[in-house]
Amino acid sequence: MTNEITVVNELPTFEEVASAIVEFAKQKPGFELCNYGSMASYKSDYNRYKKDADFNRNFSKGEIIDMLQLLTKVQYEYILKTGKRLSYNKERQQMDYICGQYFPTEYQYALRQLIEEIQFKIETNKRKFSEIREVKPFRTGGEFVAITLHTNPENEMFVIVCPDWEDNTNAILEFSNGDAMKVPYSYIKWKRDLLPSEK
């Protein structure tokens, strides 16, 4: 499902974010051999970096844009969220990375995690409604909210239900972790009848 969200709420465009991701992936690690006690330890760190760098650099700007377009608005906002180790800086139009212990071995891994998270969310959007075990609706703050139990019964997620404006027969379950799922609106509607009356 493609979402036209490049302007709404002043979110950066898909092209801006994709450009930042590609440029971040192109960065050189900055290894300095003099910091290593042996060639073996240097090669170990280099190979670790190279594995993630090869994965990240395999994606073109166009491919990144295509993936971003498959995210929901909530998912898109989630991956851009500041406060994470790797996030998008809208003012500078670049990816900002907060280094942990050693930048050369970390930064490509952080980007790979982001790309794999995007891929995971795209796959999540393809889940069938039958994969939901149960929906328990309730109200909070005037918004219709539900708890959804996935195939793993220990994995509870809070979700906000909103209309799918592209198809008014469906609703979108938008999870607090950025995942989303399309479900028949009729199911949500009859579940709404089970809600406690508002005071």
For residue range 14-60, list pLDDT tens digits in order: 999 999 999 999 999 999 888 898 999 999 999 999 999 999 999 99
pLDDT for position 40? 94
Structure token pair of residue 76: 């898109």
Query: DSSP character for 2?
Result: -
What's the pLDDT at 121? 82
Tell me what pLDDT residue 3 has. Answer: 45
User: Which residues neighbour 154 within 8 Å (Cβ) at sequence distance 6 or greater?
Assistant: none
Q: Are 180 and 74 in contact (CB under 8 A)?
A: yes
Residue 123 is predicted with a pLDDT of 80
The answer to whether 93 and 19 are in contact (CB under 8 A) is yes
- Between vectors from CA 162 to CA 67 and to CA 125, what angle results, nearest 5°? 30
Q: Identify the pLDDT of residue 174.
A: 61
Q: What is the chain's pLDDT, residue by residue, as a tens digit (199 residues)?
A: 444 443 345 889 999 999 999 999 999 999 988 889 899 999 999 999 999 999 999 999 999 999 999 988 878 888 887 667 898 998 999 999 988 889 999 999 999 999 998 988 888 777 654 444 444 444 444 444 444 434 333 344 444 455 554 555 556 666 656 666 666 655 444 444 433 333 3
Indicate if the alpha-carbon torsion angle 159, 18, 120, 189 is positive or negative.
Answer: positive
**What is the model's pLDDT at position 181?**
65
Whether 59 and 115 have beta carbons less than 8 Å apart is answered as yes
In the structure encoding, which two tokens stand for residue 162, read together?
A: 């909103």
pTM for the model: 0.64
Looking at residue 20, its pLDDT comes to 97
